[in-house]
Amino acid sequence: MTAPVRIVLIDPSHPGNIGSVARAMKNMAVTDLVLVRPRSFPHPESNMLAAGADDVLANARVVSTVSEAVADCGFVAGTTSRPRSYYWEFTTPRDVAGRIVALPDDNRAALLFGSEKYGLGTEDLQYCNVLVRIPANPEYCSLNLAMSVQLLTYEIFMAREQPHSQTQLELPLAAAGDVEHFYNHLHQVMNEVDFEDKTGHLMDRIRRLFNRAQMDRNELNILRGILSAVQGRRGQSSSRPQ
Amino acid sequence: MTAPVRIVLIDPSHPGNIGSVARAMKNMAVTDLVLVRPRSFPHPESNMLAAGADDVLANARVVSTVSEAVADCGFVAGTTSRPRSYYWEFTTPRDVAGRIVALPDDNRAALLFGSEKYGLGTEDLQYCNVLVRIPANPEYCSLNLAMSVQLLTYEIFMAREQPHSQTQLELPLAAAGDVEHFYNHLHQVMNEVDFEDKTGHLMDRIRRLFNRAQMDRNELNILRGILSAVQGRRGQSSSRPQ
């Protein structure tokens, strides 16, 4: 068994695409689908295009934020064909599939797919440990949403079929929800010590740094402890958020 | 540059799928599309789903037989998810992509895709040098037509991007049309020498053997010469077909 994989569609606008995604997933033995703010779901067109993968649709979870969609995931990869202005680690579907399959199976992985029209928003990237770009014709590189899901899940299926090493992790990766609490805590401490954010992008940069590092639960707890200690020194008035 | 690749859709029934195939192809920089007996083409739904790959549709060629579709191709791969009763070499999209990319560029390759409902017919297999099966969930293994095209062309794009060796061929592979003439010639000679086909499947088996061997032009000419020589010994009455 390898790490379970979740497909997260953010703001999908066409019910038919959701159905095609369900079929593509089931073809590759991936069945955990989460929909963030779908324009219309459930919808008969989704079921028509699911063509027998109705069980994937029936078990799909609808949430209103990306944060909820990935809260229990230790590894989050975002798919994008757009260039991004800041430093991001870009990798390929094959590489990311290998990394997901190498995760111990108590680490859930999520693959994020943006809307048909706009792809992932900048605000979605802040949850990602890594970004994936599907190699494609540079003059015509925007794939249909369900096609992208098909390629990614195919690479995961292929990677699972092949002999693969397992990454040595002392502890499971920190779940995205817990990492979120850490960022809130850090932000609070920064305010308490009057650290000035001159650019307005400081938290974005800090998130990219820590997301890239893929903290485990222990590391996260150490950082939380440090933050609490800083607050302790500054008096009883400061509180540790959840 | 690597060997040019043609996508051949046999009996496609949904115009939308043809459009999705065109988009999937262009995303992976493959643009040569041949349609064998499409139920309806051109069709506005094809253009709608092509989403900017209208040029692929506009240049698509419509033919009435598989034989015409692959006549100038030296390497023909058929995609199938069904089990087949006879011996066939089954391979994966990744392997076949590597083999196509390794062909010298004066060898055109074709990938055959059967109808949405039935896949490739047994009569289509007789043109194939190799069969490809997309690895998939054994309990739900039938992919949408355009998804299959997407995966195969993606693997070709990936293989082209990577450093690859080139197969050493003394001469280009024999074009499928010429191989067809050879089979007709052989069949004629078999009749002339009163060779009895007890099973009724003899030509099928002979085709599988020679297709698997992937004859080059020289080898084919040698065999044609042998057949003509056999006919010469048997008198002036026998004729060499085209």
For the residues B54-72, what does the mean pLDDT come to? 97
- What is the per-residue pLDDT for A86? 60
Residue B62 burial (CB < 10 Å; 0-12/13-18/19+)?
Answer: middle
For the residues A227-242, what does the mean pLDDT come to? 70
Q: Higher confidence at residue A229 or residue A44? A: A44
Q: Higher confidence at residue A239 or residue A21? A: A21
Phi, psi of A56 (to 5 degrees): -65, -45
CATH, domain range A176-233: 1.10.8.590
Q: Chain B: residue nearest A161 by CA? A: B135
Phi, psi of A118 (to 5 degrees): -115, -10
- What is the per-residue pLDDT for A87? 65
Residue A23 has pLDDT above 60, yes or no: yes
Choose among B52, B53, B136: nearest Cβ to A27.
Answer: B136
For the residues B105-121, what does the mean pLDDT come to? 95
Does the beta-carbon distance from A136 to B28 stay under 8 Å?
yes
Q: Are A153 and A198 in contact (CB under 8 A)?
A: no
Choose among B24, B144, B154: nearest Cβ to A23.
Answer: B144
Q: Which residues of chain A make contact with B20, given a CB cutoff of 8 A? A: 144
Torsion sign (Cα): A120, A126, A127, A130: positive
Q: Find, among A55, A6, B119, A64, the residue nearest to A46 by Cα.
A: A55
Separation between Cα atoms, residue B242 and residue B239, nearest integer Å: 9
Percent of chain A residues topping a pLDDT of 70: 93
Q: Are A133 and A81 in contact (CB under 8 A)?
A: yes
Q: Residue B164: which pLDDT band, with cuts at 50, 70 and 90?
A: confident
Separation between Cα atoms, residue A155 and residue A98, nearest integer Å: 8
Phi, psi of A104 (to 5 degrees): -55, 150
- What is the per-residue pLDDT for A205? 82
- What is the per-residue pLDDT for B94? 95
Q: Which residues of chain A make contact with B24, given a CB cutoff of 8 A? A: 143-144, 147
Separation between Cα atoms, residue B186 and residue A216, nearest integer Å: 68
Q: What CATH topology corresponds to A5-161?
A: Alpha/beta knot (3.40.1280)
pLDDT digits (tens, 9 = 90+) for A203-218: 888 888 888 888 888 8
The answer to whether domain A5-161 and domain A176-233 are alike in fold is: no
DSSP state of B237: T
Choose among B51, B140, B141: nearest Cβ to A53.
Answer: B140
Q: Residue A202: which pLDDT band, with cuts at 50, 70 and 90?
A: confident
- Domain ranges in chain B are 5-161, 176-233
Separation between Cα atoms, residue B139 and residue A222, nearest integer Å: 45
Choose among B26, B134, B136: nearest Cβ to A140.
Answer: B26
Choose among B20, B136, B146: nearest Cβ to A157.
Answer: B136
Residue B87 has pLDDT above 70, yes or no: no
Separation between Cα atoms, residue B137 and residue B140, nearest integer Å: 5
How many beta-carbon pairs below 8 A join chains A and B? 74
Q: Chain A: residue nearest B143 by CA? A: A27
Q: Which residues of chain B make contact with A26, given a CB cutoff of 8 A? A: 137, 140
> What's the mean per-residue pLDDT of chain B?
90
For the residues A24-46, what does the mean pLDDT come to? 97
Does the beta-carbon distance from B27 to A142 stay under 8 Å?
yes
Name the region of A235 (left: φ>0; alpha: ψ -120 to 50; beta: rest): left
Q: Chain A: residue nearest B29 by CA? A: A137
- What is the per-residue pLDDT for A102? 92
Q: Are B176 and B74 in contact (CB under 8 A)?
A: yes
> What's the mean per-residue pLDDT of chain A?
90
Separation between Cα atoms, residue B230 and residue A39, nearest integer Å: 72
Residue B56 has pLDDT above 60, yes or no: yes
Question: Which of B144, B145, B152 should we substitute to test contact with A (largest number of A Cβ atoms within 10 Å)?
Answer: B144
- What is the per-residue pLDDT for B77? 96
Q: Chain A: residue nearest B162 by CA? A: A135
DSSP state of A110: E
pLDDT digits (tens, 9 = 90+) for A124-152: 999 999 999 999 999 999 999 999 999 99
Q: Higher confidence at residue B141 or residue A36? A: A36
Q: Are A149 and A32 in contact (CB under 8 A)?
A: no
